[in-house]
Amino acid sequence: MLRTQKLGEADRIITMLTRGNGRVRAVAKGVRRTTSKFGSRLEPFTYVDLQIAEGRSLDIVTQAETLAPYGAKLGSDYEKYTAGTVMLETAERLVVEDKEPALQQFLLLVGALRTLSAGERNPSQVLDSFLLRSLSVAGYAPSFEACAQCGLEGPHRAFNPAAGGMLCGGCRMPGSASPAVETVTLLGALLAGDWAVVEASEPRHRKEANGLVAAYLAWHMERGLKSMAHVER
Ligand SMILES: [Zn+2]
């Protein structure tokens, strides 16, 4: 479940990411009544097995079985909850079309929510790793080794979100950041899911990586939305 919105007296519109059909929106009837059979199963973060019937305008949820109630585990921990919320929003926005299969995004999201709720890894690093991988699946893979512009092998010193990652001396653009070498190594490990390297990193490099991931995400999300507006026109 990604998001729910109220509809009428007792219904909700549920936005979800599914294994086989990508992003789907459906109506869950009567779920805001206390007597509802599956109201609590249709909350954000919950991983459910759903049955959906085709409706006239929107599809209708007819059955829901909880597979993993991640929301219950995340709701009691502010840091995990906020990291999870960013994951859901990112997944919803990076899957551009309803009902277009998005299996990789689905698997990434479920895996990240499972890791987050297990509590064995730092939430902000689980989030950064998810964001970099999710952006990659959406076609915005950052380059942390070779130059993002000309492909020259690294390591390089300049990072630019608009250019797609690290830039060599020749391609360096104004406004590029100059992260520490260790931060660039950490970013590569977050993207690859190399947790041994991630967990050996120092706090200052984690913090710098956080900022660069946020900048990279912001630039590509905004660009994604802009291009979507063009398509709809
Ligand atoms: Zn270059």
**28-37, 64-73, 160-169, 224-233 — which one is most confidently predicted on average?**
160-169
Which residues lie below 8 Å from residue 124, measured CB to CB, with a gap of 6+?
A: 79, 83, 206, 210
Q: Which of 185, 189, 150 is nearest to 167 (CA)?
A: 150
pLDDT(187) > 90:
yes
Q: Say how many Å lie between the CA of residue 84 and the centre of ligand 1.
A: 35
Q: What is the pLDDT of residue 57?
A: 85
Asked if residues 68 and 47 have their Cβ atoms less than 8 Å apart, the reply is yes
The dihedral region occupied by 182, where left means phi > 0, alpha psi between -120 and 50, and beta the remainder, is alpha
Q: What is the pLDDT of residue 214?
A: 92
41: confidence class by pLDDT, cuts 50, 70, 90: confident
Ligand 1 (ion): residues with CB under 5 Å are: 147, 149-150, 152, 168, 171
Tell how far CA 138 is from the center of its chain. Answer: 10
pLDDT(130) > 60:
yes
Asked if residues 125 and 206 have their Cβ atoms less than 8 Å apart, the reply is yes
Q: Mean pLDDT throughout 134-139?
A: 95
Q: Mean pLDDT throughout 130-157?
A: 96
